[in-house]
Amino acid sequence: MTSTDESGDLWQEFHDVVNMTSRELREWLATDASGPGSDALPDQAGGDLSRAVLEILGKRRTDLTPADAEAMRRVVDRITEIRGSAEEPTAGDTEWRHRLMSLGHDPLKDPDA
């Protein structure tokens, strides 16, 4: 990452959009509903980006690599794009919710929980 301010901003943005814990995400990726790869070994379930989110959730900000920063930016951008302008939790359709959940964002999760 280029600077402490940039890394802090990206860290905050990432944690603002990724509202699932590593445990919740890991359990979700192990379900059939999460899509292809759910029947893989538990530590290999989900796509590359989903696994990157899991790894990042297990790190401290000071331990992030440039590859982590790139993955975080991709996750923030993808969740923002998929989510659209909806600020409040909404059900949406099942496929839409599942795509978000595979990136660590459950649109139905209470932000105050």
Average pLDDT estimate for 70-89 = 86
Tell me if 78 sits within 8 A of 14, measured CB to CB: no
Tell me if 87 sits within 8 A of 69, measured CB to CB: no
Mean pLDDT of the chain: 82
Distances (CA, A) of 67 to 19, 21, 71: 21, 21, 6
The yes-or-no verdict on residue 17 having pLDDT over 80 is yes
Exposure string of 57-90, with b = 16+ CB inside 10 Å and e = fewer, is beeebeebeeebbebbeebbebbeeebeeeeeee
pLDDT at residue 31, as a whole number: 83
Mind listing the pLDDT tens digit for each residue in 46-65?
Answer: 678 999 999 999 999 999 99
pLDDT at residue 45, as a whole number: 54
